[in-house]
């Protein structure tokens, strides 16, 4: 008899993703297709993202099917909204919902819907090496990406999370600022990996960033102008990249310390694509009781959705 598994599908504004986890909660496949962005672009309009997902899904679902050999799908999970709040909506997730519904209907299995943010949190917890500890009590999480820079309080429940927004950016998201500076320097979107490579090669003294943090809120829009000015003055892509990542890292570190003043000793999990960056992770690693996911589970992925799907099905949740 085939072993049971659980499928997750996520169609964010940057990546088409699908994943499989087994009965024990081990991720068996974490498949991704990036959305194409025109040269010089800093992202995609929702209509373009939705169209790109429609083009990506056939080959992705075919690969997913090939990975299911020896397994029987028990349920399908899908990211249906950005966050778990009323009115949270982005058209790009419609592509994933349609694919999940069709995939599940052909197998006569239930579909469970989740938020993209909850998927990120679950994926980060899974790959942090301390998932049992994190998921046994309330903790706080940073979701830091091109589309989100938020601090949330997470209360684990049987089949997911109760998430409360505590703070975050007042203007640009961290990933947006990184990409805007990178594109201005001629890098290809998304710029995070190339910016990290340049920053690691920097040997010049990095100017001290003038970050803007107030409690659990921050402003990141000033980073773009400051970094552009530094690049024009010094002409060094390596120095500019190092400055950008130090600015973001120091901002997150200040927010983490302020968070600890409100929730003393709380465990803090960092999720989202920006947290794939080794420089920023190293800056935050000394804060104590902080947890990071592996890069493959930091950037957009469906692994967390597949794990949430498993939890919902085992808890006897109703299909949606």
CA distances from 231 to 42, 86, 106, 241 (A): 18, 42, 54, 9
Q: Which CATH number applies to 168-292?
A: 3.30.420.40
Confidence of residue 25 (pLDDT cuts 50, 70, 90): very high
CATH of 3-128+300-314, one of 3.40.50.12780, 3.40.50.1100, 3.40.190.10, 3.30.420.40: 3.30.420.40
How do 71-81 and 3-11 pair as beta strands?
parallel
Burial class (CB in 10 A: 0-12, 13-18, 19+), 296: middle
Is the pLDDT score of 318 beyond 60? Answer: no
Residue ranges per structural domain of the chain: 3-128+300-314, 168-292
**Identical fold, 3-128+300-314 and 168-292:** yes
Q: What is the pTM of this model?
A: 0.94
The per-residue pLDDT for 150 is 98
Q: Is the peptide bond before 186 cis (omega within 30 degrees of 0)?
A: no
| 276-286 per-position pLDDT tens digit | 999 999 999 99
20, 3 contact by CB (below 8 A): no
**Model confidence pLDDT, tens digit, residues 230-261:** 999 999 999 999 999 999 999 999 999 999 99
Alpha-carbon distances, residue 306 vs 84, 85, 183 (angstroms):
17, 21, 33
Those residues whose C-beta lies under 8 Å from the C-beta of residue 235, and which sit 6 or more positions away, are none
pLDDT for position 20 = 98
**316 dihedral zone (left: phi>0; alpha: psi -120 to 50; beta):** left
pLDDT greater than 50 at residue 320: no
């Amino acid at each position: 008899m085939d072993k049971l598994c659980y499928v997750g599908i996520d169609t964010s504004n940057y990546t088409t993703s699908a994943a499989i986890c087994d009965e024990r909660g081990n991720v068996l496949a974490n498949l991704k297709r990036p959305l194409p962005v025109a040269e010089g672009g800093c992202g995609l309009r929702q209509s373009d993202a939705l169209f790109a997902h429609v083009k990506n899904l056939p080959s992705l679902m075919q690969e997913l099917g090939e990975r299911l050999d020896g397994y029987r799908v028990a349920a399908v999970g899908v990211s249906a909204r950005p966050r778990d709040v009323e009115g949270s909506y982005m058209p790009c997730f419609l592509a994933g919902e349609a694919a999940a519904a069709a995939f599940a209907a052909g197998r006569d299995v239930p579909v469970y819907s989740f938020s993209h943010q909850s998927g990120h949190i679950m994926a980060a917890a899974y790959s942090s090496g301390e998932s049992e500890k994190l998921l046994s009590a309330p903790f706080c999480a940073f979701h830091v990406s091109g589309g989100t820079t938020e601090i949330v309080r997470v209360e684990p429940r049987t089949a997911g999370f109760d998430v409360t927004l505590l703070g975050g950016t007042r203007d640009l998201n961290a990933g947006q600022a990184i990409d805007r500076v990178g594109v201005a320097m001629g890098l290809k979107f998304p710029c995070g990996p190339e910016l990290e490579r340049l920053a690691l090669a920097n040997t010049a003294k990095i100017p001290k960033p003038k970050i803007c943090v107030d409690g659990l809120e921050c402003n990141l829009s000033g980073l773009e102008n400051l970094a552009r000015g530094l690049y024009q003055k010094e002409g060094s892509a390596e120095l500019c990249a190092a400055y950008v990542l130090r600015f973001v890292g120091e901002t997150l570190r200040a927010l983490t310390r302020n968070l600890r003043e409100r929730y003393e000793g709380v465990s803090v999990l960092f999720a989202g694509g920006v947290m794939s960056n080794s420089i920023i992770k190293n800056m935050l690693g000394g804060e104590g009781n902080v947890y990071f996911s592996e890069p493959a589970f930091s950037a957009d992925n469906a692994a967390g959705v597949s794990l949430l799907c498993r939890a919902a099905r085992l808890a006897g949740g109703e299909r949606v």
